[in-house]
Amino acid sequence: MLTSKQRAFLRSKATVIDATFQIGKGGVNENMLASIEAALMAHELVKIKCLENCEYTPKEACEGIAEAIEAEEVQVIGNKFVLFKISPEHRRFDLVKLCEIEEKKEKKPAKSAPVKGTKKPKPGARACAPAGKGTQGKQTGARADKYGYQITKRKG
């Protein structure tokens, strides 16, 4: 039996899922019950829609299916209803803590990115000093304004 907080938690999770099954004029048969139970074992939460030509009301269909497959009724709203059943193999919801259980995925080791600015200058290249360093705060020329550094001559 679900508490009102557990039911509210499951209702909030059911808003984002689409209706998985439809009950039409054929009604509910053994094949449909087996497939609903298989879906509950895989996902723990299933939304079902009753079409207009269904011989049952959504409330009657929800109660009948829940009793047949021993599931919990979460919500009946309009022509849709939500069922919940704890899956021993694929646990997705923790009703004690009211949270989703995250699957543990193996983490791959992160690739180390090369550190920028570690290239060695080619022999004979001019040394570049950042703006304001080595030039005593005096910047002249378009290059200093555009790029933020000034090319200085190598001493020696």
**How much is the pLDDT for 91?**
81
Q: For the chain, which residues make up each domain, given as ranges?
A: 4-100, 124-156
**How much is the pLDDT for 94?**
78
pTM higher than 0.85 = no
pLDDT at 7 exceeding the cut of 70: yes
Q: Return the CATH number of the domain spanning residue range 4-100.
A: 3.30.110.60
pLDDT at 129 exceeding the cut of 60: no
Q: Quickly state the pLDDT bin for 99 (edges 50, 70, 90).
A: confident
Span 118-129, average pLDDT:
61
Report pLDDT digits (tens) over 36-77.
Answer: 999 999 998 999 999 999 998 999 999 999 999 999 999 999
pLDDT at 144 exceeding the cut of 80: no
**How much is the pLDDT for 82?**
95
pLDDT at 27 exceeding the cut of 80: yes
- Calculate the average pLDDT of the chain: 79
Rounded alpha-carbon distances, angstroms, from residue 125 to 1, 85, 129, 143, 154: 78, 72, 13, 17, 9
